Amino acid sequence: MRISRSLWIIGLLLAAFIAAQPFTHSGKWERYTKTGNSALEARDFAEADSAYRAALAEARHFGSADPRFQESLDNLEKLSRAETTSAHFGPHSGQTTTFLRGVGGGRDKTL
């Protein structure tokens, strides 16, 4: 009786842990996206690129049909346009465009 109760409790804890995983990725995705948005607004393209790529990595856990996946791709495209039109071309310029061309999933991007 004691063993079956212990197994039941372990199973319940394991199920709760597994169920919490999407929320963990969701929180990370949101933080990375906010960081990328702030960096883009500050014209810190390297930081925005790093944050948006991390958000895309988290969004992959939700699947390509999830709107967060597409939003992550859209943010990288927005960054690419900002890099291209910026008067400040640094050593980081153009890396996002190259990255986007190699990303699978999502809708076709014309850069």
At 15-54, the pLDDT tens digits run 655 555 555 678 999 999 999 999 999 999 999 999 999 9
Dig out the tokens for 43 from the structure. Answer: 């014209």
The packing angle between helices 45-59 and 67-85, to 10°, is 160
pTM for the whole structure: 0.61
Grade residue 69 by pLDDT with cuts at 50, 70 and 90: very high
Q: Indicate the residue type of 69.
A: F
Task: Calculate the alpha carbon distances from 96 to 8, 31, 54, 74 in Å.
Answer: 49, 20, 13, 12
Dig out the tokens for 7 from the structure. Answer: 């197994």
